Structure 1
Amino acid sequence: MTDLIVRDLQRSDRDEWDSLYRGYANFYQVEQTSVMRDTVWSWLHDGRKEPRGLVAERANGTLVGLAHYRPFARPLSATTGCYLDDVFVSPDARGTGAADALINRVRAIAQQENWSVVRWITAETNYRGRAVYDRLATKTNWVTYDIKI
């Protein structure tokens, strides 16, 4: 997509970010309230919290994608890695290169920060997203477990 830029999330992006993040939650069938989005939004603008945000923006100013990422400690390698928590592109912008642009910007940031890896998870059934991820990264052999609290 030639009319696309990836930039840091700004406070003026709130309404469009909110719509994109609702779309992301809906994609994964996660119930999410406005209070939950308020919390995430506050984290993204609080320098004491880890999450950072990027958006993909068309030349006309419309936001079509988002990415949230954060550093994480990697004790075994004594390095810091980058965890890509969320990547979402609006359905009307899929296939335009927006996901690639967001992930590549996170990769560039990780290189600038001297982080050792960019890591993320996705649903097994996210076939379209996985096609992008398979081009940009290496699927690991790690299995993920959760303990619900």
Structure 2
Amino acid sequence: MIRTATPADVPVIHALIRELAEFERALEEARATEEQLHAALFGPDAVASALIAEDGGSEGGVAGFALWFRNFSTWTGTPGLYLEDLYVRPTARGAGHGKALLAALAAICVERGYERFEWSVLDWNEKAIGVYRSIGARPQDEWTVQRLTGPALAELAARAAPAGLGEPAASAPAG
């Protein structure tokens, strides 16, 4: 069963994120707190959404999750869905939970008129890549992910003009 996450799911989502980070050999990078996740998913300025895959046999009945957010394509003029994390616990793998989560996200796209559903996958995760190919996903080989973090992000931000960032442009008075 796939369902929309609720605020009560934040602790299990946090635990699943930690399990995913450990699987991806990057546990030390998973610094998000439950409070941050709650704000991101359910706060007044929520920026993400999550789905939960349930079954009777996994810890607490939760087999896995998918966390996603909207993006926007200037080329199509429509929103899209970016899948940030998809994780199914090892004990629940092979039962179709991952494909069910992907199908539910695809249904959200179709229902809302989103023309793109995108995500990234580690190049060594052959099992996941096989699942993605089996549902018709294709790699965007001509594109590479670029990322700024830490000191490089701070240094570039320091170059920005200080006035007006984050403020809507003022409109000219009607004349």
Task: Flag whether TM exceeds 0.5 (same fold).
Answer: yes
Which residue in 2 is equivalent to 1:40?
Answer: 37
State yes or no: 1:49 paired with 2:49. Answer: no
Q: Give a deviation string over 1:29-81, Cα, whole Å, max 9, x none.
A: 2222363x431332011252321000100146510111011111100221211
Give SS of 2:146's match. coil
* Partner Cα separation in structure 2 for residue 147 and residue 102 of structure 1: 27
Unaligned runs of 5+ in 1: none
Q: Going by fraction, where is strand more abundant, 1 or 2?
A: 1
Once the two structures are superposed, the pairs formed by residues 1-149 of structure 1 within 5 Å of their partners are: 5-30=1-26, 31=28, 32-33=30-31, 35=33, 37-59=34-56, 62-136=61-135, 137-148=137-148, 149=153
Higher relative contact order, chain-length normalized (CA < 8 Å, sep 6+): 1
* Partner Cα separation in structure 2 for residue 143 and residue 86 of structure 1: 20
Q: Give a deviation string over 1:13-42, Cα, whole Å, max 9, x none.
A: 23322221111111222222363x431332
Q: Give a deviation string over 1:63-118, Cα, whole Å, max 9, x none.
A: 01110111111002212111111100001111110100000000001111110011
Q: State, as a whole percentage, how many aligned pairs show the same letter.
A: 24
* Partner Cα separation in structure 2 for residue 138 and residue 100 of structure 1: 15
* Partner Cα separation in structure 1 for residue 4 and residue 142 of structure 2: 30
Any runs of at least 4 consecutive aligned residues in structure 1 with deviations exceeding 6 A, and if so which? none
Residues 10 and 37 of structure 2 are in contact (CA less than 8 Å); yes or no, is this contact kept in structure 1? no
Unaligned runs of 5+ in 2: 154-175
Larger-gyration structure (1/2): 2
Aligned length: 144
* Partner Cα separation in structure 2 for residue 114 and residue 145 of structure 1: 25
